[in-house]
Structure formats: structure tokens, C-alpha cells
Chain A
């Protein structure tokens, strides 16, 4: 056999194997894989099918945590009962504006809502969230959200054809931020590491305070990578003529002040102000609730943006006011 014929016959053989494998996969294994790996798509599609007028993007903060909470309703459920419009939420843990934008891009034209409300979480602009180990799972989820054959999606996921960061890369990015990202203080708190070290020396029980510093001790400026995602959402809203409302979530600033001192509280408030000003000037409505709530409405096991029913009702009330206002 001539070499060309030899190669051609083998190639045809492999294409056939690929095709047969692909068909077997598509109808046998892929549906269950897509169900487990593509849960984000399922969640979004299930909610979008309801054709709501208002779409609320949130994270785990939307929900109740703990059986002791008297009212187990989520924020969106509280809102639902007090407005004339139909509202649904898309929420899951560790989600952020980058994923919200990916979901927005994929909404079919006939399911577009009339208004979109999005939680902005000051913590999600920090290194600890941006380089979270949970990010790979979210990014891999998006791999399955398209019309490609299952085999292609499977290979893309197994060959990590997505925004993948290895655990070592996550770790070194966070460590670099903690050691070298400068904070706008004239005192010794010029980096997260120095701040944590000084707290460690000064306090007998520094752990919670150090956790707070690690999660909130960042300075949001124009170089922040999460800002680009928020900008993309704003641009998308303008292009689709859909008004966007950002809610800057309440943080446990009183607890921060108690544990760490004024600096962290000021930094969190400064970051929230920055976000509010930046997006207000882009004609986006921003509700800044960062210091609206006192310590008692935050869950102890989640010292930051996870609330008791009192906290959730407060956020819901602010949302209701905004939805019902003519603006």
C-alpha cells in the first residue's frame, strides 16, 4: 500500500472511532456528566424559563444559614411578596461578577429580563476570592454550557481548556498579594502580612481578626481584575438597554472595628465608596449598604456577608424601595 493510502485509511479509521465514541458518549454517559458538571447552566436555565421581569444575581448570601433563624426565607423570597413584578434569583456559593457576566451573555433574547439586580460583595474584589480554589470548578462549569458535542466539552474540561489555575498558582498569587500588595496606610499596616503579624503580636486571640484582614484588607483601584467583569456587565446592560442595579452588600464592619481597629473598617467603606462613585458615574444605580447592619445580624460562623432574617429583610427592603421607585 502506498504511504498516502496507508495514512488516509488509518485517518478514516480514527475518524470513525471518534464518531462512534462521540455518539455513544452523547447518549449514554454525557447526560449524567452534564447534570453534575453543568449545574450552573441548569440553575440558570431553570430560573430563566420563568420569564421574570427582574433577575437577581446573588451568592450564598441570599439564603438563610442555620436552623435557629426564625424566618427561613431568602432575600428574593422576601422581595417577591412585596412587589408587583415577577423576580427570580440566580445564586450559588463563591459566585462573582465574572460568572454573572458569563451567564448574562448566554441569556436568549426571548428570556431577557427588564431589570437586573446584582450583589456586589467587597470581599469578592480581594485576592482571596479572585484566586479561590473554588474558581476552577466554576470555570469548568462554563465549559459545558454550549452546544458542542459532549466529547468536545469533555476533552476541553479534561485538558483544562478554560481559565484554569493550579493550586500552586492560586497559593502563590494569594501569598504574593499578602506580602507585597501595598495598602494605603501611613502606619505599619502597609501589607496584609505586616498587618496580620502586628495583630498576632498584639492580640491573644488574633485568628478571626487575621481572617478579616485577609479577606477585606485590599484596596480596590482601577487595576483590580474583578472591576473588568463589573464593567463588562455594565456595557452589556447598556447594549441590551436593560437597567442594572448594584447592591453593595452590608459587611460586619463593627466586628472588624472591634477585632482589628478603625483601619479595616475605613478600608472597607472606602472600597464601597469607590465602587459606588465609579458606577454611579456610569449611570448605573448603586445601593451602598456596606455599613447598614450591626453585628447581631451576621452569622457567627460566617462573620461577613451572611445574614440572619433581620439582615436579609433589611436588604430586601432596600431592593423593594428601589424596584418600586420610578427611577
Chain B
């Protein structure tokens, strides 16, 4: 069940009703039950995977904590990592690594069981598997490093893994941040509902009006790039940058808003990333929960910037490459990650950005433009189906253009989006609306609500990050 579905609109009030109806110290049980129902709403068979992941990390973390032997701890950690990542590899990367190879095809053709296994693993990526795997892995690693104590109650730990507002596409929360909030007595106030409303309304607007309409406009071009003129292609690459931002930011705002209703403050995942003056700044503002995960659990253990220059370059490239691979089982994602890694290295070595207040307007402009163009080129790698499509994108041009159909009307809400983002000045909508007059608040509510009613897209677009 996606956030922008009737099922969810019925599910949420029911979940809230049940949550507030029971005694405060038992609310977590309702939340756990509703989280499992929410997840089963996608495909009931996927529940087995999340339960498996929960059990593995629950027991291994207990053992790691209770043993004093460092070697034993290390072996247990390895067992957890192998269990979690083998599940991820099987269900997400099976076709990419094994299933698509000729030798496996031959094996599957001659063996019914292998054919069946191939179908199971290629059945469709279980929703949110990359997100909850990373969340549980961070838990076990934190227990291993002695940063946290493991949760003794299996049910309470299961809620940390499955908390439904952030289950399928993050933010990827740390145990120390999320877990205590789930069990703190919480009494909702009017402010809670207002904040949730503001975040959800703007989130739905970003997803249903901006992202989905942009998706409808540019998807035909990415399906057959050779048929379109160069201007359309370049514009589409930029528009995809806004589509993916509106899609994922919209989802995150809804997740944060819904979590608020259950007394949980999820971390911010975006802070106006397209206003960045360097790639380094971009990665501190884009998908923050994932980039900090990679920083803390991959980049720093690899040595970070504390060793030689070559080792630092290697750590950067490996971190970005793995981040690319995390996004999907396609070589294009790896190239996307490596491109970011290479650009990051060049930028940091040759043109490190000075503090913002020391930059002049010209330098700021040049840095902003070059960063934005680099990010957009990266999105092109991210969006195409294969590397061959990148060359087709630039070498073959047709005479179709994306503005052939009557889409100009859609530019009203899209321009509205840019104006709102400029108006918000890098703040979240709720922060911006705080202390604003009722006239300003209601003007923004009316604009977003009417836009959702009148301009939401009708095409086939789903949340982009759900596939990861």
C-alpha cells in the first residue's frame, strides 16, 4: 500500500484510532501489528523476509553483547552481515549477478528447481529491503562497537525494524534515535496534527502533482530517446532531477508527518540539495540518512581522510560505487556512483569550496552552475536503462519534442513548486509556516490542495525509491 492510495487513507485513521484507544504502555504492540499489516499490504510473502531479518539481528546482537570474546563477537558480526546481505543479494541482485548469466540460464533450463528459484528471486524486489537491511545492519554494528545496548524484548526490536511510516523508503534511522521514541509516552496536541497535516499535504503535492506529472512528461523520451530532439533530451535530464527530488522528498515529508502522529520525529532526509555550491555540500543535503550511513559504516572504517591520498581516493570511490550499487542492480547505478565519486575527488583536490560567506557572487554562481550540471549529468546515468542509452541519448536525435502534447497547463503547479521552494528559503514547510499569518498559511494550503485536486497525474508513476 503506497501513501497515495485509498488503502492507506483508510489504514492511517484506523491505525491512529487503535493506537490512541489502548493504554500508553501497550501502544507499541498496536504499532507493531499495524506495521506488519502495512507491509503485508504489498505482498504477504515478503513478511517472511522481514521477520527473518528481525530474528537474525535480534539474536545475534544479544549474543554479541553477552560474549566477552572479541573473536566470537567478530564471528557473530560476520554471521549477521552475511545473513543480511545474502538476503539482499539474493532478492535484489540475483539477476544482475547470476540469473542473467548464460551458464545459469542453461542450468535453469535443465532443472525445474533452479527455474523455480530463479523465478522466486526475480519475482520483484521486496519493497524496502535495502532500507530495512541497512537499518538492522547499523543496529548490529552499533551493538558490536559498544555504542548501544541491544533491545531485550523481541517485539520491541521488531517495531524498530518495521515502524511503518519509514519502513519502505526510509529515512534509515539509527537505533539510538528511533527506538526510544517508539516507547515514550506521548500525548498528541493540536500542534501535532497541524504539523502532520502540513507535511503530508506538501508531500502529496510534491509527489502527485510535481513528480508524477514530470514523470509522465519525460518517460516517453527515456523509453525511446533516439526519437527526440537534443533540446528535449537536455530539458528532460534536468526535469528528471526535479522529478526524483519531488518524488523522494514528497515521500519523506509524508513519512515524517505520519510518524509525528505516533510521537516519533524522523530525521530530515533533504535540505534544499539543489542549492549546493559543491558536490560535497550536495551529499550533506541529499538522502542524508543514506549518505551518513555510508559515511559511518563504509567510508570511515575504510580509513576516511586519515590515511594517504591514494587510500582516501579509494575510500571515496568505493563508498560512492557501493552507494550506486545500493540503488539498483544495474551497471548504470554503479557508474552513477563512480561518477559522483570521481567528481568529488577532483573537486576536493583541485577546487575545494571555501566557506560560503567568503565566496563572491561570481564564484558562487559558477560553483552552483557547475555543481548543478554535474548532478544533472549524474541523473542521466541514473535514469537510463543501460550505458548504451547514454550514447544514444547524445548521438541519435529525432524530430519529436516533449512539448508536442498539451502539457503547458501542468507548468502552473510546477512553477508554483519552484516559487514555494524559493519562498521557503531552505526551510521545511512547517518551519516556514510557523508564526506566519493565517492568510499566508491558508493561501499555501489552498494552492497545494487545489493543485492536488486539479493537477495530480493520472499516469503509471510509482514512488521511485520504492524499487530500491
Contacts and interface: CB of A to CB of B under 8 A. Distances in A.
A154 B458 contact: yes
B458 A140 contact: yes
Interface in B441-464: 442, 445-446, 449-450, 453-454, 456-458, 460, 462
A10 to B, nearest CB: 9
Interface in A247-303: none
Which applies to chain B's interface (DSSP): helix, strand, loop or mixed? helix
A197 B110 CA distance: 11
Nearest to A158: B456
Interface in A122-176: 136, 140, 151, 154-155, 157-161, 166-169, 172, 175-176
A119 interface: no
A179 interface: yes
Interface size on B, as a range, is: 20 to 34
B454 to A, nearest CB: 5
B430 to A, nearest CB: 16
A65 interface: no
A167 B124 CA distance: 11
Given A17-B446, A18-B449, A197-B109, A160 B5 contact: yes
Contacts of B409: 29
B450 A17 contact: yes
B408 to A, nearest CB: 12
B232 interface: no
Contacts, number: 65
Nearest to A37: B458
A17 B9 CA distance: 19
Given A3-B190, A157-B458, A172 B450 contact: no
Nearest to B118: A179
A24 interface: yes
B361 interface: no
A176 B123 CA distance: 9
Interface size on A, as a range, is: 35 or more
Contacts of B462: 166
Contacts of B453: 18, 21-22, 25, 151, 154-155
Nearest to B409: A29
Nearest to B125: A168
B442 A154 contact: no
A157 B6 CA distance: 11
B5 A159 contact: yes
B212 interface: yes
A29 B4 contact: no
Interface string A231-251: 000000000000000000000
Interface in A206-253: none
B414 to A, nearest CB: 15
B249 to A, nearest CB: 19
B373 to A, nearest CB: 31
B208 interface: yes
Given A29-B409, A179-B115, A24 B454 contact: yes
21 contacts: A3-B190, A7-B190, A17-B445, A17-B446, A17-B449, A18-B453, A21-B453, A21-B454, A24-B454, A25-B454, A151-B453, A155-B453, A155-B456, A159-B9, A160-B5, A161-B6, A169-B124, A172-B123, A175-B119, A175-B122, A179-B115
Given A158-B4, A160-B5, A161-B6, 12 more contacts: A21-B453, A21-B454, A25-B453, A29-B454, A157-B458, A158-B456, A159-B5, A168-B124, A175-B122, A176-B119, A179-B115, A197-B109
